[in-house]
Amino acid sequence: MRVFIVEDEFAAQANLRRMLTKQFEDIEVAGVTDSVKGAVAWLRQNQTDIIFMDVELSDGTCFDIFKQVEVTAKVIITTAFDSYALRAFRINSVDYLLKPIDIRQLTEAIERCRKAETSTDNSGLMQIATGQPTGRPQYKQRYIVRLGDRILIIKIEDVAYFLSKEKTVYLVTKENRQYIVDQSLDMIESILDPAVFFRVTRACIANINAISGVMRHFSGRLKLQLDPALEDDLFVSRVRTNDFMRWLNQ
């Protein structure tokens, strides 16, 4: 099996290449690049069975590759973060590995590629890359966060709200545990189920189950009580009040 590696971190690139050549006798690393430009040029001239592809590259993202060249190989995304894009990839029968790559998960991913059908449908990737609809919406189901050397999985139903403070976004659980999230609130809002989460302010996205009280303030705005409680008062702006009330009544 021929493998093509698209990775802009030299250490990660070398580590993956070493793992593949050491663990799998029938795998040949046919090419390596660190950029969108390099990947497009290589794929136009070569054939491969599997592509290991990081999301963020030296000159863009992996989405840009699918805009410029047809990809028929199996694609395995390698990244340090779980995200909406990765969920969409998996739905479209494309696997992903979280860095640092575990040899057991790498082996499982390779085996899934071996067992997969010969004809690969990457239409979902093309739709994501070009912004075309991919059918039924798929919302975020879990977050993977790092706590020191530990990797934690937070189910979305255990999230009370997302809060932006001093240019840092925090995921706050129902048990009032806080974890830093490497995404903007705009991105988070776009991947959450709108029936469950609402952008109550520019700095807060709340789970409906975390709203313990709604009061009409003398200013005409709505004052919310969240559980766990916030240090500062939380108000829904006047322009969002009608949308908020419709959301509550769904």
Between these two residues, 11 and 86, which has the higher pLDDT value?
Answer: 11
| Residue 102 pLDDT > 80 | yes
Between these two residues, 138 and 150, which has the higher pLDDT value?
Answer: 150
Please tell me the least confidently modeled range out of 23-27, 39-43, 91-95: 91-95
Average pLDDT on 101-124 reads 74
| Residue 54 pLDDT > 80 | yes
What pLDDT sits at residue 123?
A: 55
What pLDDT sits at residue 129?
A: 52
Between these two residues, 171 and 64, which has the higher pLDDT value?
Answer: 171
Q: pTM of this prediction? A: 0.50
At residue 151 the predicted structure's pLDDT band, cuts being 50, 70 and 90, is confident
At residue 63 the predicted structure's pLDDT band, cuts being 50, 70 and 90, is confident
Please tell me the least confidently modeled range out of 56-60, 200-204, 211-215: 56-60
What pLDDT sits at residue 93?
A: 42
The boundaries of every CATH 2.40.50.1020 domain in the chain are 155-248
Across the chain, what does the average pLDDT equal? 83
Please state which CATH number belongs to domain 2-130: 3.40.50.2300
Most confident of 67-76, 105-114, 153-162: 153-162
Q: What's the fold here for domain 155-248?
A: OB fold (Dihydrolipoamide Acetyltransferase, E2P) (2.40.50)
| Residue 224 pLDDT > 90 | yes
At residue 119 the predicted structure's pLDDT band, cuts being 50, 70 and 90, is very low
Average pLDDT on 24-35 reads 93
Q: Which residues, other chains included, contact 123 with Cβ-Cβ below 8 Å and sequence gap of 6+? A: 92
Between these two residues, 84 and 240, which has the higher pLDDT value?
Answer: 240
The boundaries of every CATH 3.40.50.2300 domain in the chain are 2-130
